[in-house]
Structure 1
Amino acid sequence: MKRFDVKRLGRMVSELAVLLAIYFIGCQIASGWHLPIPGGVVGMALLLLGFALGWIKPATLQLGAGVLMAEMLLFFIPALMSLLDYGVLVRDEGWRILLVIGVSTLLVMVVTAFTVEAVCRWRMRHEV
C-alpha cells in the first residue's frame, strides 16, 4: 500500500470514528433523558449544532460521510429482506405503507431544505 493510501485510509477511519462517536452520544442523550426520538436523530442535531457553531467543519468529515453515502444500500438490505416475511401485509396494506413513506420522505426533504436555508442565512448574517 502506498503512503497516500494509508494516509487516506487513516483519515477515513478517523472521520467515521467521529461520526460514530456523535451517533453514540446522541443515543446516550436520547436514552438518558428518555426522549421520544431516536438517538440517531439527536446525533444529527448535535452534528448540525457543531456545524452551525463552527466546532466542526463539514469538509473535515467529507470523506467518511461519502463512504457512508456510497454504501447506504447495505444499511437497507435487512429491512428489504424482512418484506419477504410480510408479503401478505404488503399486499393488503401496501398502498398505505407507500403513502406514509412518500409523505414522510417529502417532509424530510422540505424540512432539510428549510433548515439548510436557515443555517446559510444565519451564517451570512454572522460572518459580516
Structure 2
Amino acid sequence: MTTIMKGIGQVILLCLISLIMNKVVDLFHLRIPGSILGIFVVFVLLQTKIIRLEWIEIGANWLLAELLLFFIPSAVGIMKYKNILIEDGVYVILVIIISTIIVMACTGLTAKKIAERKEREHSR
C-alpha cells in the first residue's frame, strides 16, 4: 500500500474516532467537545498499546502539518465582531500572546520528552 493511501486511511480512522466521540458526547450530554474526548481516547489507546503509533502516524503528521488551514474560517469569522475588537482589542491580543506562549512552552516540553524517550528506546 502506498504512503498516500496509508495516510488517507489513517486520517479517515482519526475522523471516525472523532465522529464516534461526538456521538458519545451527544448521547451522554457531556460538557466536553467530542474532538477533545477523541484525542484523550486515542492517547489512552496508544498508551495501552491497543493501537500502535504506526497505525495513525502518517495521517496525524499530515493533519498537524495542515493545522493552520483549519483556523482560517475562525479568523475570518472574527471579522463579524469588529466592535468587540475595537473595545477590548488590547485584552484579546494579550490573551492571544499569553496563550501562545503557554502552548509553545507545553509543546516544546512535550516534544523534548518524546525525543528523550525515543532516544532511550533506540539506545537499548
Q: Out of 81, 85, 90, which is 2:76 matched to?
A: 81
Unaligned 5+ runs, structure 1:
1-5, 122-128
Aligned position for 1:35 = 30
The answer to whether the aligner puts 1:8 opposite 2:3 as a matched pair is yes
Unaligned 5+ runs, structure 2:
118-124
Is 103-112 or 17-26 further displaced after alignment? 103-112
Q: Out of 9, 18, 26, which is 1:23 matched to?
A: 18
Q: 1:102 to 1:59 in 2, by over 3 A?
A: farther
CA distance in 2, matches of 1:59, 1:104: 31
Q: What is the TM-score with the length of structure 2 in the denominator?
A: 0.74
Shift of 1:90: 1.1
Q: What is the TM-score with the length of structure 1 in the denominator?
A: 0.72
Looking at both structures, which has the greater relative contact order when contacts are Cα pairs under 8 Å and sequence separation is at least 6? 2
| Identical columns (%) | 26
1:30/1:39 contact within 8 Å kept? yes
**2:6 partner letter:** R
CA distance in 1, matches of 2:30, 2:107: 20
